[in-house]
Structure 1
């Protein structure tokens, strides 16, 4: 059974076992490795008649998962209105559309405004989540983002730039928490990021700049707060990179363990052991 709905979570019709998939699906492509798309996302691609994708961010290998005769549109040069018109033209013809977004559609994309237009048009759609770069980077680094006694909070944010950030969410305010940080869309301004964080994090705090994580040309640039800006400049990284900050990224793992597998800790499935 599949429930087709809109951004308010309202089903387009009463769900039953015969409910068909929506004609429009927003699909998370993952960070780059074509094998990191979800099973559902791959299935939606295989069924699509039209795929609108971000050509500079979505690997071409993903398009090979589509059936013969599928129409492809690169959204890099398109406006919101143009992509919406293309979706609506296909829907009116009863065609299945996949709007393929890099990473996960919910994070630093433009899915909100597209869903709003579909809501206004009364067109039902679904969203298929994807693997975001922060999780792919943690996997490549063999790091855990939340380590007991080190950090139990992950803050996903970006530095203010062409797109403003609410003052209450400024990097200065978020840095005061001392939590693990995943900073998107900001590597071009690495010097300012470092200056801001240096007021709250020690100079030796580990920093990783993950460039095109999971792509064949990925770079995982390790450093510390006091030298990462120089390393980024030397590597010539200006875009397509994520900044990860925090003690959880130490190359020598801290000698800590969770309570979950501690024999002295009892929970609903295990008694405490001496």
Structure 2
């Protein structure tokens, strides 16, 4: 018996992986996050499967489902949104499973920060401009370690993807404004990959008001990055004809430093 933790993706039911979909279709027990996982994903379950919504369950109740499935020798498809590596409650569930000696596996999914970048048609890194993405959240009811406060993270000028922070946007702006100018670009993607997806573009100066006017308070990814406003950047080395790598030899000689000086 195995519990399969499956990342169902950010909302579009077609963004679940093939492996994840097959497990939903075949496992005799399907336990899903009903408040977030699309119904179309769960409708894949076989007709005789026990399908349970965990939205009103606490950790003890969820653990009981796993325990009863073990006693019956039935695999469980535990379906959650996004990817299980980010803000998913995976750690606390597998700690219980380990204590019960229940086998488990993780099937990765598409995260909302990736779906948001796709919605924007935006690469979140650019050569020689930004090569780092920081995934974090604003400290709220769930505290963030002091060393991970936004002001500290902003010092790197990396792309910031902020989860679970829509209701705290004014606090986000206050902290980041201590590091960045108010003209620093911000994009908010609400319900990335859903039919009702919305994109709000702005800066630290106006993004909070724009979100308020649009009544965006949940299921939104906040992306703060200079790459959102950069049009002039160098090409990467990946397809540079003067750059050799394991799969391709350079087709032209690289320019010397003297050539750039001429």
Shorter-chain TM-score range:
over 0.9
Using the size of structure 2 for normalisation, the TM-score is 0.93
Q: CA deviation at 1:150?
A: 1.7
| Match of residue 237 from structure 2 | 259
Quote the Cα distance in structure 2 between the aligned partners of 1:146 and 1:178. Answer: 11
Instruction: Give the count of matched residue pairs.
Output: 252
Summarize deviations over 1:176-223 as a string: whole Å, max 9, x none: 111100000011010110111112222222211111111111111111
Closer, same or farther: CA 180–71 of 1 in aligned 2, 3 Å: same
Any conservation in 2 of the 1:28–1:101 contact (CA below 8 Å)?
yes
Any conservation in 2 of the 1:118–1:124 contact (CA below 8 Å)?
yes
Any conservation in 2 of the 1:178–1:200 contact (CA below 8 Å)?
no
SS at match of 1:77: coil
Quote the Cα distance in structure 1 between the aligned partners of 2:164 and 2:49. Answer: 32
The answer as to 2:153 corresponding to 1:168 is: no
Quote the Cα distance in structure 1 between the aligned partners of 2:67 and 2:232. Answer: 53
5 Å-filtered alignment, 1:49-198, equals 49-198=28-177
Quote the Cα distance in structure 2 between the aligned partners of 1:50 and 1:61. Answer: 17
Quote the Cα distance in structure 1 between the aligned partners of 2:161 and 2:80. Answer: 19
Using the size of structure 1 for normalisation, the TM-score is 0.89
Q: CA deviation at 1:248?
A: 1.7
**Higher mean C-alpha deviation, range 67-76 or range 40-49:** 67-76
Summarize deviations over 1:28-72 as a string: whole Å, max 9, x none: 010000010001000110111111111111110101111112222
| Match of residue 242 from structure 1 | 221
Structure 1: 5+ residue stretches without partners: 1-21
Quote the Cα distance in structure 2 between the aligned partners of 1:172 and 1:50. Answer: 44
